[in-house]
Amino acid sequence: MPDSLSQPATRDPDAIRRASWILGALLLMWPLLHIAQFRPAELFDSRNLAVMGGFVGGFFPPVLTTEFLSLTLKATIETLAMATAGVVLALLIAAPLGLVLSHSLSISRIGPGPGRGTGEAVRTLSRFTLLLLRGIPEIVWALLLVRAFGLGPAAGVLAIAITYGGMLGKVYAEILEAGDTRPARVLLEAGSGRLMAFFYGLLPGAAQELASYTVYRWECAVRASVIMGFVGAGGLGQLMDQSMKMLNGGEVSTILVIFLLLVLLADAISVGLRKLLA
């Protein structure tokens, strides 16, 4: 507009819109603050300050006795083993369900024929199963399984297997559908079985992506199994939970450092493996 060009605006031309956005957001936030019992003053409550101060004060120096370090080393290996075993078991769930779910291996899709209804029913059922497995967070599974199998890593391994089985199965099916599905289709049309069509028609094109995603999930599983111990499912988390309950700051800071190193290590391994695959 020529008017505004000759006369430089002295205030924000968008001010009203911006102000109404901020006002709306604040109005929305008010009940949220109330529900979440947002009371920053509690942080400075003298009792809380004393507990927290004593605890954090104990962070230095970290406990570095050989006895405690060997304990944490054992827990660290246990954490890694839990994640790895969990992901391997998850594969046992994910691979068959992923294959069942993938439309690119559907014979009934090729043409009208018998079995279409059954095929869709099985597919819906397996999709629902995967949704149920991954819809419940892994730590909830762990909390339940600890009650069934007792304290220790078994519950953690199974919890990871269940949740990650659900995640991997869904993503596997998606990967198999997203790539070039024509070879598999040709094989199916020529009369080969589903498994053969998968091995010769789909796997060569999708293997790298499947493996890469599995490695990425392993990295996530390491992070998950680190905290699994807070509900009693073994590993570093359990050790940390104990040290926290005893308000032993020195032990907690040692475990925290190992936490960070472990996550970094898993990250590096995952990135390295995925580069190797690319």
Partner 1 sequence: MSTVTFDERRRALGFCIYCWTTMLLLAVLVWACFAYLSLDWSLLFSGESAGYMVQFIQRFFPPDLSSEFLQRIAKGTLETLAISALGTLLAAAVGLFLALPAAGRLGGLPKAATRFFLNFLRSVPELVWAALMVMAAGLGPFAGTLALALHTTGVLGRLFAESLENVPSQPTQALVESGASPSLAFVYGTLPSITPQLIAYSMYRWEMNIRMATVLGFVGAGGLGQMLYYELSLLHEAQASSVIIAMLILVVFVDAISAWIRRRQMRPGG
| Residues forming the site for partner 1 (CB under 8 A) | 29, 31-33, 35-39, 42-43, 45, 48, 51-52, 55, 77-78, 80-82, 84-85, 88, 131-132, 135-137, 139-140, 143-144, 147-149, 153-154, 157-158, 223, 226-227, 230-231, 237, 240-241, 244, 256, 259-260, 263-264, 276
User: Residue 77 Cβ, how far from partner 1 at the closest point, in Å?
Assistant: 6
**Integer Cα distance of 128 and 137 in angstroms:** 16
Residue (29 or 186) nearer to partner 1, CB: 29
Residue (80 or 188) nearer to partner 1, CB: 80
Residue (108 or 216) nearer to partner 1, CB: 216
The residue type found at 31 is: P
Indicate if the alpha-carbon torsion angle 165, 167, 170, 172 is positive or negative: negative
User: Residue 38 Cβ, how far from partner 1 at the closest point, in Å?
Assistant: 6
User: Residue 121 Cβ, how far from partner 1 at the closest point, in Å?
Assistant: 21
SS percent in the chain: helix, strand, coil, step 5: 80, 0, 20
Residue (104 or 243) nearer to partner 1, CB: 243
User: Residue 52 Cβ, how far from partner 1 at the closest point, in Å?
Assistant: 4
Degrees, nearest 5: CA angle 157-210-175:
115
**83: Cβ–Cβ under 8 A, 6 or more apart, which residues?**
160, 218, 221, 222, 224, 225, 266
**143: Cβ–Cβ under 8 A, 6 or more apart, which residues?**
231
User: Residue 212 Cβ, how far from partner 1 at the closest point, in Å?
Assistant: 13
Q: In this structure, are residues 114 and 136 in contact, taking their beta carbons and an 8 Å threshold?
A: no
User: Residue 55 Cβ, how far from partner 1 at the closest point, in Å?
Assistant: 6
Residue (37 or 66) nearer to partner 1, CB: 37
Q: And the tokens for 187?
A: 């094989």
Q: And the tokens for 176?
A: 């198999």
Q: And the tokens for 71?
A: 């304990």
Count how many Cα atoms sit within 13 Å of the Cα of residue 271 in the half-sphere of its side chain. Answer: 6
User: Residue 110 Cβ, how far from partner 1 at the closest point, in Å?
Assistant: 27
Q: Say which residue the tokens 């949220």 belong to.
A: 32
**Integer Cα distance of 159 and 83 in angstroms:** 10
User: Residue 113 Cβ, how far from partner 1 at the closest point, in Å?
Assistant: 31
Q: In this structure, are residues 246 and 61 in contact, taking their beta carbons and an 8 Å threshold?
A: no
